[in-house]
Structure 1
């Protein structure tokens, strides 16, 4: 039964995460944290961090991690398969349609109309993670602000936007800084 739940949950993620890994984060959170309670919100945030740092797509890495956590190696295989199956089918179908009708302007209109939805999904994922960093829980109150997390976020944002440092270096430096702060 758990294998079927993992398969169907990650097939939904794979089917509805148009726009890539960052767009999939709210869908994964809904399945893993809200619907099935396989992970807590803190564990989910750690999962996303690890999924971003490891090679491969975020959704596939997340599916593999959740699957192995919930049902061992078999769960990892089923979750990963569930995550990539819809994409394989959809991409094959779209490639066929695109090559057959690539001269039609309607196809170009449909593709350009998907951009705002993708931006909204990415923004929603970023804001939910930022909320967790700044407030450590679901209550958004000024007295609960994590000032160290806010300063770390703002510093990393400025470094990435103004000086265009390598994002992996900035993430590593933030991790080292957080480790030092937590050890003190």
Structure 2
């Protein structure tokens, strides 16, 4: 694909995502997953999860961070520029238009009810994207233990009404991941190294070859 065509595809895709994303950056997750993993297959699911963690842990809105990351991964600096511009442009245009008649816009009851329906839809999209990513995660023993401990910590914080910023939740998840990895790595090192023996068929083959060499001599 030519660079100009790729940049246009990036711009058009993110403009569409920015135009139809309601409810904040998390509502964009389902659309990004559908576009770039399902349709275009630009990134893999594991990379998408890593990108999501990086976008959440860095300053700025998660939607812009994700757009910048994907754009750069596909077309370098220009890709990140056009992706970021495209995802911000629809919001800028719509908010600018609303600000011209803001009071009249808020007075419309139909608008309020419409946004209530949009909020319910956004909640479903976020939940759907989360469940799909959960299904596609690795199902090893370490991953299951890691997931259980991390979710257990978050549930405990919620029950005891401990309110943290999202960055602290990410740091807690990182600490849990490191602890679980170190425990598994320590157990692997404690296991005695087994010396691999040659299979019987290999030993017999070598013995036959040695006998042939002796006969030739």
Q: Same fold (TM over 0.5)?
A: yes
Q: Residue 38 and residue 101 in structure 1: after superposition, are their counterparts in 2 closer, same or farther (change >3 A)?
A: closer
Structure 1: gaps spanning 5 or more residues: 138-142
Structure 2 counterpart of 1:93 = 97
Distance 1:7 1:175, change over 3 A: same
Partner residue of 1:178?
Answer: 177
For 1:3, the equivalent position in structure 2 comes to 7
Measured on the aligned residues, the alpha-carbon RMSD in Å equals: 2.2
- Report the alpha carbon displacement of residue 44 of structure 1 after superposing the two structures with TM: 0.4
Which entry has the higher C-alpha Rg, 1 or 2?
Answer: 2
**C-alpha distance after superposition, 1:115-160 (max 9, x if no partner):** 2112111211222233344xx27xxxxx989421331232133133
Of 88, 96, 107, 1:84 maps to 88
- Describe the SS at the equivalent of 2:42: coil
TM-superposed deviation, 1:34 = 1.6
After the TM superposition, which segments of 4 or more aligned residues of structure 1 sit over 6 Å from their partners?
none
Matches within 5 A, 1:14-53: 14-53=18-57
5 Å matches for 1:11-160? Answer: 11-133=15-137, 136=138, 146-160=143-157
Q: Structure 1 length as normaliser, TM-score?
A: 0.85
| Distance apart, 1:32 and its partner CA | 1.7
Counterpart CA distance in 2 for 1:6 and 1:59 is 15
- How many residues are treated as equivalent by the alignment? 177
Partner of 1:140: none
CA distance in 1, matches of 2:81, 2:123: 30
The 2-side partners of 1:59 and 1:34 are apart by 19
Structure 2's unaligned 5+ residue stretches are 186-217
State the Cα deviation string for residues 160-180 of structure 1 (Å, max 9, x = none).
312324243232122122123
The more displaced of 29-38 and 106-115 is 106-115
User: 2:14–2:86: 8 Å Cα contact kept in structure 1?
Assistant: yes
Q: Secondary structure at the match of 1:17?
A: coil
